Amino acid sequence: MLTSGKRALVCGAGGFIGHHLVRRLKQEGLWVRGVDLRYPRFSDTAADDFIIGDLRDQSVAGYVLDEYFDEIYQLAADMGGAGYIFTGYHDADVMHNSSSINLNVLHNACKHKNKRIFYSSSACIYPEFNQRDPNNPTCDEASAYPAAPDSEYGWEKLFSERLYLAYARNCEMDVRIARYHNIFGPEGSWNDGKEKAPAAICRKVAMAPDGGEVEIWGDGEQTRSFLYVEECIEGTLRLMRSSFTGPVNIGSDEMVTINQLVDMAAGIGGKSVRKRHVEGPTGVRGRNSDNRLVCAKLGWSPSTALVKGLRPTYEWIRAQVMRNVSANREVLEDPSVVSNVMSESRVV
């Protein structure tokens, strides 16, 4: 067992990326405190100390940040997939909750002379007007201004990026900012209305019979890139331990259409599926990670092919679907009824 003697704090340790990050930090021998509103949903946390607490509350943030940490990772946020972010129903919550968390964490981190803090921003900060052509979206870091994100989630992220940079200037904090692009993998939201495209599509394919139908929001020609969670953690640690502040993209530059993503998931599942395009929130028309800056500054960029990450993700989601089906078996005897009931949850 490694023992680095270092202490890390992970805010949002009950969430998808935070849970994976805690596991990796433990493998590296750090002592880790996690904090979140909830424990991780699908497996036990590896954290040495896990505080259930609401970081919108100044006193909770003070309690959690009551001492020095060598590394602080701030991933706690009110977020979700397109069904959560782009419908407009959650705008006030998203802006209030996430900015309160960031204000409280920074204020208290600064008090205890904590220096090194990582902030998880998002590709959603990029201007909508640069992402209308699905084949040529512009997402290089400098293109963030003049600012015109297409969601309040993106505006909050942009505000918080600036907040972190202000603390770096005025409070001598050593800030690191990454703009994550669509992270996916096992143990993420898959059926709670906060799932993103890869999880939603894996679930739909897993639930569809061979030759069945899969519903897609929009015409499916919108483009995105998706980064496997292990690569996200690798990039996060490399940035944190580098001398580069950022903001910098951490994402894959393997751009695909949503239709292609469906074909990929169907191929992994060994099924042929028909796509049914329906109206729904789709976000910007095109988005891809521009990795020139991350390559130049960290000498690294993600290299795992989408299909390689999608395989374990599909298998994990298929297992969740099967588990739900068997849990419902007592009340729902007809498999087609099970399928209909489960189809009601929202998807991208």
- Which residues does the annotation mark as catalytic? 153
Closer of 54 and 315 to ligand NAD (Cβ): 54
Minimal distance in Å, beta carbon 224 to ligand NAD? 10
Residue 179 CB partners (closer than 8 Å, separation 6+):
121, 122, 123, 125, 141, 246, 247, 248, 249, 250, 251
Q: Which two structure tokens, joined as six digits, stand for 142?
A: 């400098």
Alpha-helix residue ranges (DSSP H) falling in the chain: 16-27, 58-64, 82-85, 91-111, 152-170, 197-207, 229-240, 258-269, 292-298, 306-328, 335-343
Interactions with ligand NAD, residue window 107-146 (CB under 6 A): 120, 122
Interactions with ligand NAD, residue window 82-111 (CB under 6 A): 97, 101
Site stretch for ligand NAD (CB under 6 A), options 11-19, 129-137, 162-170, 267-275 = 11-19
Q: Which of 17, 32, 233, 310 binds ligand NAD (CB under 6 A)?
A: 17
- Of 235, 342, 344, 204, the C-alpha closest to 299 is 235
- Counting contacts by CB under 6 A, is residue 286 touching ligand NAD? no
* 35 to 42, 327, 334: CA distances (angstroms): 16, 30, 42
- Counting contacts by CB under 6 A, is residue 291 touching ligand NAD? no
Give the H/E segment covering residue 176: strand 174-180
Site stretch for ligand NAD (CB under 6 A), options 16-24, 107-115, 297-305, 337-345 = 16-24
- Counting contacts by CB under 6 A, is residue 72 touching ligand NAD? no
Neighbours of 322 (CB within 10 A): 12
Interactions with ligand NAD, residue window 174-193 (CB under 6 A): 180, 182-183
- Counting contacts by CB under 6 A, is residue 199 touching ligand NAD? no
Residues at the site binding ligand NAD, with contacts judged by CB under 6 A = 12, 14-18, 36-38, 54-56, 75-79, 97, 101, 120, 122, 180, 182-183, 196
